[in-house]
Amino acid sequence: MELTGKIIAVLDERGGVSKAGNEWKIQEYVLETMEQYPRKMMFNVFGADRIAQFNIKLGETLTVSFDIDSREYNGRWYNDIRAWKVDRNVAPAAGAPIPPAGAPVPPPVADPFSAPQMNASNEADDLPF
């Protein structure tokens, strides 16, 4: 799954040592979508190498690819949203890609529900329905 939005919070990095004696680190972030009714999602990046590779900063606009998993602990269930890819090549907020300079502009599409257009002799065109 993936979601595009702006990073609005960078939480403290946490770490520890596993039962096997391996060190681990995890960093959590909050992403807010850029929709009419914005939504927030907290996700994490696991591993010091991935945290350094992604290098996520407060205020950046990103597309985050993630996996969702749930686990049970002491009779309660917890969700885990883990990022596995971060893309900084995000299209403009309007959602439409910007065409290259000099690209032909398509003609506007006629709206079938608008008022009839007048022809050269100022008579309304007949609609097929």
Q: Is residue 118 part of a domain?
A: no
Q: Is residue 121 part of a domain?
A: no
Q: Is the pLDDT of residue 49 over 60?
A: yes
Q: Is residue 115 part of a domain?
A: no
Angle, alpha carbons 68-25-71 (nearest 5°): 30
Q: Is residue 124 part of a domain?
A: no
Q: Which domain holds residue 20?
A: 2-87
How many structural domains is the chain composed of? 1
Query: In this predicted structure, which of 6-15, 51-60, 95-104 has the lowest mean pLDDT?
Result: 95-104
Q: Is the pLDDT of residue 20 over 90?
A: yes
- Average pLDDT of every residue of the chain: 83
Query: In this predicted structure, which of 9-13, 45-49, 88-92 has the lowest mean pLDDT?
Result: 88-92
Q: Is residue 37 part of a domain?
A: yes
Within 10 A of 50 (CB to CB), how many other CB atoms are there? Answer: 19
Q: Is residue 11 part of a domain?
A: yes
Burial classification of residue 71, based on how many CB atoms lie within 10 Å of its CB (0-12 exposed, 13-18 middle, 19 or more buried): exposed
Which helix (DSSP H) or strand (DSSP E) does residue 127 occupy? none
Q: Is residue 109 part of a domain?
A: no
Band of residue 62 on the pLDDT scale cut at 50, 70, 90: very high
**What is the C-alpha separation between 53 and 30, in angstroms, rounded?**
18
pTM for the model stands at 0.67
- Closest by CA position to 46, among listed 13, 22, 21, 10: 13
**What is the C-alpha separation between 65 and 85, in angstroms, rounded?**
5
Q: Is residue 114 part of a domain?
A: no
Q: Are 108 and 114 in contact (CB under 8 A)?
A: no
Strand partners for 76: 73
Which CATH number goes with the domain that contains 77?
2.40.50.140
- The string of DSSP letters for 28-75 reads EEEEEE-SSS--EEEEEEESHHHHHHH---TT-EEEEEEEEEEEEETT
Band of residue 89 on the pLDDT scale cut at 50, 70, 90: confident
Q: What is the pLDDT of residues 22-43, one digit of tens each?
A: 999 999 999 999 999 999 999 9
Structure tokens at 37: 């009714």
- Closest by CA position to 62, among listed 5, 2, 8: 5
Residue 118 pLDDT: 54
Band of residue 75 on the pLDDT scale cut at 50, 70, 90: very high
